[in-house]
Amino acid sequence: MPHTRYAPDRGLTARMVTTMFFIGLLYVVFIGVLLALFKGAWPLIVILAGGLFVAQFWFSDRIAAFSMGAREVTPQQAPELHGAVDRLCALADMPKPRVAIADTDVPNAFATGRNQRNALVCATTGLLRRLEPEELEGVLAHELSHVAHRDVAVMTIASFLGVLAGIMTRAALWGGLSRGSRNNNVGIAVLLIPLISAVVYAISFLLTRLLSRYRELSADRAGALLTGRPSALAAALTKVTGQMARIPTRDLRKVEPYNAFFFAPALSGESVSRLFSSHPTLERRLDQLARISTQLGQAGRG
């Protein structure tokens, strides 16, 4: 991890390394199976898989910004947002990322980018309208922690395999790969590809969800320690989660695919199993922030 004043998290580092190992192994196995089934189409498979990986990793910040309707803003256009980011980056001793705003009433924020030099931090108009300055800084400190710890880049890579599995399934069923092979068992192969892709997607989905829940707790902890105001972050969490219930469901479903990158999930509730949730429960996050507040208070008295 590049040097910053954010508190290091060995647990997060270990989980990122483990996730990348298993995702990489799964990726190699998946491509190997495709090459074995469609030997005549190996150049297309290699080019497609490699090209998509490079494109998603290299342009992840632009893809996420475009998908969310985010637009980069200047300090003149959003002085308060830029001012908060400037203060936090100076406090954390890290390069300032690009700053963007998404025009949506869904109160949320996210960070993306392959490294600190190419990062982007985005807040929605709904978030900016609802939060007090200290609460906004707490949310931004949380998001900048993702950039500092580089877990946002790991999440981008980890989520790629599921995307690739879906694309390969459609390509196989469409018949583009089968035309490059004269194997008599092409029909069986085409039936196997959706099954294999479903298994690959399920495994990669679970791996990213396990990492996602821990990284949110890690970002809460690091952001609270950096600002020294865990209560402000707790207030922001409570306010955002409460306000989310007032947003029309159709608007929440539009942004639900990006839940893993958000400060708070767009859709949650008892109907969603904790195993499949992208975030820890609100109670768990608030409990951790309360413990940090107690620790900081004891340290201050000491």
Binding residues, as ranges, are 142, 146, 216
Residue with tokens 């989905």: 205
Residue with tokens 């820890």: 280
Whether the Cβ atoms of residue 245 and residue 268 lie closer than 8 Å to each other? no
Helix (H) or strand (E) holding 295: helix 282-301
Whether the Cβ atoms of residue 221 and residue 18 lie closer than 8 Å to each other? no
Rounded CA separation 278/100 (Å): 23
**Residue 143 annotated in active site:** yes
Rounded CA separation 186/33 (Å): 13
Residue 123 bridge partners (DSSP) = 101, 109
User: Per residue, what are the HEC states of 244-282?
Assistant: HCCCCHHHHHHHHHHHHHECCCCCCCCCCCHHHCCCCCH
Residue with tokens 């005549």: 40
Among 80, 132, 134, 143, the one annotated catalytic: 143
From start to end of the chain, where are the E strands?
70-72, 98-102, 109-112, 120-124
Task: Provide the 3-class DSSP secondary structure of residue 54.
Answer: helix
Residue 70 bridge partners (DSSP) = 102
Rounded CA separation 65/122 (Å): 8
The vertex-60 CA angle with 55 and 64, nearest 5°, equals: 130
Alpha helices of 59-124 — where are they, by DSSP H? 60-68, 79-92
Q: Which residues are annotated as a binding site for Zn(2+)?
A: 142, 146, 216
Give catalytic residues, as residue numbers.
143
